[in-house]
Structure 1
Amino acid sequence: MKKKFWSTVFASSMLIGALAGCSGGGESTSGSNEGKDSGSTEEAVTIKFHTHGNESSYNWKETIAAFEKEYPKIDVDLVILSEKGDTQEATQKLDLAAASGEQLDILMFSDPASYAQRVALGMVAPIDEFIEKEGYTVNEDYKVDTKIDENYYALPGKFNPWYVLLNKDHLDEAGLEVPTDWTWDEFMEYAKKLTTKDHYGTYFHGPQGGSWLEFMKLALASEEDNTEFVKADGTSNLDHPLFRKTLEMRYKMEKEDKSATPYSDIISQKLHYRNQFFGQDASTVLIGSWMNTELGGTKQFPLDFNVAIAPYPKNDASDEGGFTPVTTDFMSVAANSEHKEEAYKFIRWYTTEGQIVQGKNIPSWNGISDEDFGTIIDGILAGTATPEKVDKETLVNVLKNAKSSKIIPPVAYQSELYKVINEEYEKMILGEQDIDTTEKVTQERVQEIIDNNK
């Protein structure tokens, strides 16, 4: 982490502190007290839980009631930081709460950047002593390894790996099987065979406007480590051959194979992956498994075909496979908490048994039984319009075998990098420069940004 960045963020948090008196926190609701041992002489502890998750998405009332029944000496006071589930709003309110000295015990972060930044600011406590006392290994118990600088500051909640949505009807028409293990070369071949006069073989939703840069590190993201544009030591990773491989794949599929929706159409027509997939304009779409709740179709996007799921492609047939971009909730203990042990008990319970009680997402926890896993999947699909059109077996197979790459804490100037990489890609895909020039100029511009931020 660059010293310049953290001093800037710290200064920002002090500014937030000055404004804290003018801003309220989130909605606070206490969990159920059923099951409390009111006759005991031991006093119950109340811990505050600040989260971006709203009730409809996270089923907090039932979840917290179950925890309090199992731990009758711990009351959980829930603070919902954004009723609409807006993670940016929630993070701003959390910073205000920290700057104004509010009680903080359990913190929930929605992405690696928010998590890593608050760790660096000293807002989050390491939990290694609790993990060691309990005697388990995080990267064995969970699919997401949350380690930062040799310490653990969070346990992962939900598990949303990226995967490939497949129009099963289109595959049947092309005589193609649903892949259970495949490479990028095979993915490209599938897209080529699936392309007809009526639809493209695949649709890539990014990059665009400096966002959705996951689509500029396709091959990198199939690896266990070094999956970002900047390495953990702060040096550029754009000389990695897998960055060039991604450029080559994107160019070949659009310009030579003509199997991918043209980038110019995506930008000019403001296309979206939901419309492209459910409207059957693309046979495959690479996207995150937050789409689980929509796989069977919705009122807005009804499903008129059968859907299957394939894993994120790997680079070589001999590779271990399963690695993919993953989103999760990082469950942490606040550094200033006076009840760290109780807060830890909650995050450990919530990221294991609590995920089953909640029933809203696939857990990162590896200890979930096949029966519970199936029950959660059934519950998620049951909320869609036509769950019978989803190939549940392929979905379960992908979700069970997906793995998260190692976390590389994001740099402060990440948005600058994204903008540059996006700009140079556009020049390439719109015919203004070749792949060699794109690679060279992107490396030079990114290095300049890195040097300016040392």
Structure 2
Amino acid sequence: MKKWFLTALSLLLITVTVAGCGGSNTEAVDTKAASGGSGETIKLKMWGAVPAEAGPQAVVDAWNKENPDIQVEYVRYVNDDAGNLKLDTALMTGQDADLFMSYTVVRLQKRVDAGVALDLSKKTDYDIDGQIGPDAALWKINGNYYGIPTKKNMAFVWLNKQMLDDAGLPIPPLDWTWSDMKDYAAKLKKDKVYGLLQHEASFTASLDGTISGIGAVKADGTSNFNNPLWKEQLQILHDMMFKDKSTPEYGEQLTSKMPVDTMFLKGEAAMLNAGEFIFRSANNLKEFPHDFQIAFATVPRISKDQKDFKYPGGVGDMLSVNAKSKHQDAAWKFAKWYADGGMLPMASGGRLPSSKSVDSKQAMDLLLKGVEKQYDLDSMNKVVFGNFPSFQLDLPQQAIDARSEEYEKYFLNKQDLDTTMASMAKRHQEYIK
């Protein structure tokens, strides 16, 4: 049986290798077809994490209508560990993914290391720095681009303004802190109503914004994972879970897979720490009816005196061409079109294009079309469309995983805070070495 398996595996590897060879001949056909010449129709597959009905299908439909020689199929994957593994498997074969989205630098780095993200340094027909702006550089790996960051990243705290008004609380100032958040959440909680919910993607936003400002490694070369600011926030959040009962216990949220965006829109929470992706639900009043107005606050810093804090934001939705694709030229043509306006149907769901070729007012109009009264426009303009120093987390995935494993023990009451801080720093130090 073992001999049969090894033989089959060898044949598979040979098949994949042969499929990857002869790329120059295929690429010659691509170039001809991608430029509008004769030839058989090229079929591309684009992988992304946004549900097809929330904009991607409209995007590819518009492209396919105008480009009969290059047809694109959208494939949705869930942006979690299992979904990303599924995408990475497709990328490695080079057969089922020509274009793909990465939503963090860490995920992109892994794909660059695997040799599946096309290096764009030799592409002279698209100026990423000029089109996207200075925030694009946060996505560079080894000084090069391996895709186009296509949308403006936005993360903030969603507020039920009616609940704030009822509690006599103003919309928080731009420089509020986690101590302020704790106070707000305690005053806003009610029976069957949490003061604060947090989306998994935003759970570490303030931790990440802090370490991006002060640096993950100290001047002496040791880990900064035991910094006092992290300790302060973890303590505050633990108190909110177990003393104030104003936010769900970590274990409860994980095991129940709380639909935090739906809960917020149903009035089961006064505040939601999340990103712009919630707009696609908040704007869908048919499936998520709500009669309260939504206001916005910045992601809170940990300390009032924290001058080097950075906010989750910048640009994201990194669209890359698979370096193993047989249709790289056609895929690159689509990627440029997508970034420079083709993605506009995504705006109604909160994904605003980052390219300067796109009229920002047009994108904002699409975002707010028919739902203008659902939002407090003053806080939206200050927070959602404000300009803040931002970051893209560039910690090694192993360090991120180690950190989450240690603070999870703390939030599950399996170890104390001092042990947690020491363990995070110790494990990070091992990766530094």
Give the number of equivalent residue pairs. 400
Distance apart, 1:163 and its partner CA: 1.5
Partners of 1:126 and 1:352 lie apart in 2 by 20
Residue in 2 that maps onto 1:239? 226
Partners of 1:373 and 1:136 lie apart in 2 by 21
Are 1:330 and 2:315 matched, yes or no? no
- Conservation of the 8 A alpha-carbon contact between 1:308 and 1:394: yes
Residue in 2 that maps onto 1:289? 276
Are 1:80 and 2:74 matched, yes or no? yes
Q: What does the per-residue CA deviation read over 1:335-383, in whole Å, with 9 as the maximum and x for residues that have no partner?
A: 245665554343232122112255444224152434213222124xx4x
Partner of 1:130: helix, strand, or coil? coil
Are 1:203 and 2:190 matched, yes or no? no
Give the 5 Å matches for 1:12-161.
Answer: 42-43=37-38, 46=42, 48-52=44-48, 55-60=52-57, 62-63=59-60, 65-66=62-63, 69=66, 75-82=69-76, 91=84, 94-102=87-95, 105-130=98-123, 134=127, 136-137=129-130, 140=133, 145-161=138-154
| Structure-2-length-normalised TM-score | 0.72
Are 1:353 and 2:341 matched, yes or no? yes
Residue in 2 that maps onto 1:395? 380
| Structure-1-length-normalised TM-score | 0.70
Distance 1:15 1:159, change over 3 A: farther
Pick from 352, 366, 372: which aligns with 1:363?
A: 352
Q: What does the per-residue CA deviation read over 1:388-413, in whole Å, with 9 as the maximum and x for residues that have no partner?
A: 33334533543322664134164257
Taking only the aligned residue pairs, the percentage that are identical comes to 23
Q: What does the per-residue CA deviation read over 1:182-210, in whole Å, with 9 as the maximum and x for residues that have no partner?
A: 321433333344345674432346xxxxx
Unaligned 5+ residue runs, structure 1? 1-13, 22-36, 206-211
Distance 1:260 1:140, change over 3 A: same
Pick from 298, 321, 341: which aligns with 1:311?
A: 298
Are 1:408 and 2:394 matched, yes or no? yes
Partners of 1:100 and 1:262 lie apart in 2 by 41
Partners of 1:394 and 1:288 lie apart in 2 by 15
Partner of 2:154: helix, strand, or coil? strand
Residue in 2 that maps onto 1:33? none
Q: Partner letter of residue 308 of structure 1? A: A
Q: Partner letter of residue 102 of structure 1? A: Q
Q: Partner letter of residue 251 of structure 1? A: H
- Conservation of the 8 A alpha-carbon contact between 1:213 and 1:422: no
- Conservation of the 8 A alpha-carbon contact between 1:146 and 1:152: yes
Q: Partner letter of residue 128 of structure 1? A: S
Distance apart, 1:270 and its partner CA: 6.4
- Conservation of the 8 A alpha-carbon contact between 1:143 and 1:365: no
Distance 1:203 1:149, change over 3 A: same
Are 1:437 and 2:419 matched, yes or no? yes
- Conservation of the 8 A alpha-carbon contact between 2:129 and 2:136: no
Partner of 2:109: helix, strand, or coil? helix
Pick from 408, 412, 415: which aligns with 1:426?
A: 412
Distance 1:320 1:410, change over 3 A: closer
- Conservation of the 8 A alpha-carbon contact between 1:87 and 1:110: no
Unaligned 5+ residue runs, structure 2? 1-8, 17-31
Distance 1:100 1:196, change over 3 A: closer
Distance apart, 1:286 and its partner CA: 0.9
Q: Partner letter of residue 379 of structure 2? A: T
Residue in 2 that maps onto 1:344? 332
- Conservation of the 8 A alpha-carbon contact between 1:424 and 1:441: no
Of stretches 271-280 and 172-181 in structure 1, the one that deviates more from structure 2 is 271-280
Partner of 1:128: helix, strand, or coil? coil
Pick from 356, 359, 375: which aligns with 2:365?
A: 375
Of stretches 170-179 and 292-301 in structure 1, the one that deviates more from structure 2 is 292-301
Residue in 2 that maps onto 1:28? none
- Conservation of the 8 A alpha-carbon contact between 1:146 and 1:407: no
- Conservation of the 8 A alpha-carbon contact between 1:312 and 1:322: no
Distance apart, 1:442 and its partner CA: 4.0
Partners of 1:353 and 1:43 lie apart in 2 by 26
Distance 1:442 1:114, change over 3 A: closer
Are 1:170 and 2:163 matched, yes or no? yes
- Conservation of the 8 A alpha-carbon contact between 1:200 and 1:282: yes
C-alpha RMSD of matched pairs (Å): 4.5
Distance 1:433 1:89, change over 3 A: closer
- Conservation of the 8 A alpha-carbon contact between 1:144 and 1:364: no
- Conservation of the 8 A alpha-carbon contact between 1:322 and 1:402: no
Of stretches 173-182 and 99-108 in structure 1, the one that deviates more from structure 2 is 99-108
Residue in 2 that maps onto 1:26? none
- Conservation of the 8 A alpha-carbon contact between 2:43 and 2:70: yes
Distance 1:60 1:194, change over 3 A: closer
Distance 1:266 1:127, change over 3 A: closer
